[in-house]
Structure 1
């Protein structure tokens, strides 16, 4: 079945309204060109955004613009209901559209993985995610998509003839063809469902980590509050001895004794709160020193 033969489909176009479809493509084209042009202009100038993340954002904007250029070619066929550029152009544009959409979805997944590593391993992020690795992973992913796509066309039964003119003026792979249906299912699995599962799992891990950190911070704040409540009377009493003229040696012994009691109390509080004893004990020691400096 050639592209021109499948273009007519006059009966299948009876329920299609080509003008709204064309306007939809026009609106998508205008929004995509304007927004992605702004992205390509602004993103390289953002100092707060890591260079590694810029790679994925810029690549995503470029792939979206490539899809937009394909949409421009589809506007007139969507109005007329016929492909006017020839069969070879239909095959080429439809094939490129499939590849570019796969590139775009894969880039979204890579961008989410990049954000995931930044949130889960913020200190190791610069050593794990480097600019060279980002470019290499992006190029390798796109090459893998091309290889998988070519293999799909090879085993599709009709090879590139599976790319046909469909509704709304689009040349795409005909997934309704019974010979191509298993490959279409595999294609949708790796290009959508698998990536959707990966992104969902990443966000669930991020939510779990954020919830855990929130609970840890709440326990730490409660422990610090109890420590301050315990030490304030002790420190005020020690400060009163200084005002009464206690010698520096006696004052030092007094504060050393207070520090020993502080560490003992810290241990009791922090074991119950599952916190780090040394960190909070050091904080208590620093608080005592601040009283001395005053």
Structure 2
């Protein structure tokens, strides 16, 4: 309770400041719990599922080898991102960064690195699907195995070098004190903040544009097939298959939910100076959403594919048989 004297009216005014402070403390604690649950769930699912999907991908022969290369790049990026966050999440549970200055810099570099690799691997996979659908006859000559390997290796190399130079040598992440919290944070107010927004906006816009074209192509192909069936048998055309449209909606919707909040946070942080701990919680929440994209990709690109599901069942069955034989 806070008591003050009002000279104008000659009365004592009592303010319930303690209750306000308690309420203000509960809000960040609730957000911390939400972020912690979301991050732990995403890390566990990514670490368990992504290696399993890489092994399954090797066993399946019905998928184009070039497509498998781009899928492996995306899956490996999601896996590396989740492994790095095992160490970064210690700050969330401890309330302070405990791993020292050097690992603070390493953590800042790796998080930007694998976030970039995830979004660009997703873009490469989208471009691969677009070429396969828009130019099915020329696809084998346009996207060869050698070219796909060069594209993936170049993307990884450029991203690694860029992130090390930008975040590992110039104004690196530092440990700042915010009350009882020692936080590992970078500077969001320099030119790199605007660069990150641009780097994210360009591939996201390209992904949405390409999937919009893919949806139009798939829709036109389905209508043409239905019209040919109707002309051939004189009966009503078959119902247009909407599975491809549903898949596109799921992919784009997932990207919007998991990546757009990061753009919003970066746009806000570049204009409004938050308190360090508030900025840290907002950062962790958006990163937890990006981590969730790692296991959602498994559902979208692996478990919705019948051949990959069969390959996964075969892999698990072989492991179970070997385990029984050893016992």
Matched residues in 2 for 1:203 and 1:93: separation? Answer: 33
Q: Which runs of 5+ in 1 are unaligned?
A: 1-11, 227-294
Determine whether 1:35 maps to 2:65.
no
Structure 2 residue aligned with 1:204:
212
Matched residues in 2 for 1:81 and 1:24: separation? Answer: 17
Identify the match of residue 160 of structure 1 among 148, 153, 171: 171
Matched residues in 2 for 1:165 and 1:44: separation? Answer: 45
Matched residues in 1 for 2:97 and 2:73: separation? Answer: 30
Determine whether 1:138 maps to 2:152.
yes
Determine whether 1:16 maps to 2:9.
no
1:240-262 Cα deviation digits (max 9, x unpaired): xxxxxxxxxxxxxxxxxxxxxxx
State TM-score, norm by structure 2. 0.56
Identify the match of residue 228 of structure 2 among 210, 220, 230: 220
1:9-39 Cα deviation digits (max 9, x unpaired): xxx9885324443333221111111110221
Identify the match of residue 174 of structure 1 among 187, 210, 213: 187
Alignment of 1:55-70 (within 5 A): 55-70=69-84
RMSD between superposed Cα atoms in Å? 3.0
Q: Do the aligned partners of residues 143 and 215 (structure 1) sit closer, same or farther apart at CA in structure 2, a change above 3 Å counting?
A: same
1:83-142 Cα deviation digits (max 9, x unpaired): 111011100111111111101110000001111111111122111111111110011122
Number of equivalences? 207
Matched residues in 2 for 1:95 and 1:145: separation? Answer: 11
Which SS does the other structure have where 2:96 is aligned?
coil
Alignment of 1:1-294 (within 5 A): 15-17=27-29, 18-150=32-164, 152-153=166-167, 159-162=170-173, 171=184, 173-175=186-188, 177=189, 180=190, 182-190=191-199, 192-224=200-232
Runs of 4+ that moved beyond 6 A:
165-170
Q: Do the aligned partners of residues 199 and 146 (structure 1) sit closer, same or farther apart at CA in structure 2, a change above 3 Å counting?
A: same
> Computing the radius of gyration over CA atoms, which structure comes out larger, 1 or 2?
1
1:140-168 Cα deviation digits (max 9, x unpaired): 122222344355449xxx92334557999
Contact 2:174 2:185 in 1 (8 A): yes
Q: Do the aligned partners of residues 27 and 153 (structure 1) sit closer, same or farther apart at CA in structure 2, a change above 3 Å counting?
A: closer
Q: Which runs of 5+ in 2 are unaligned?
A: 1-23, 235-327
Matched residues in 1 for 2:196 and 2:201: separation? Answer: 10
Contact 1:75 1:169 in 2 (8 A): no
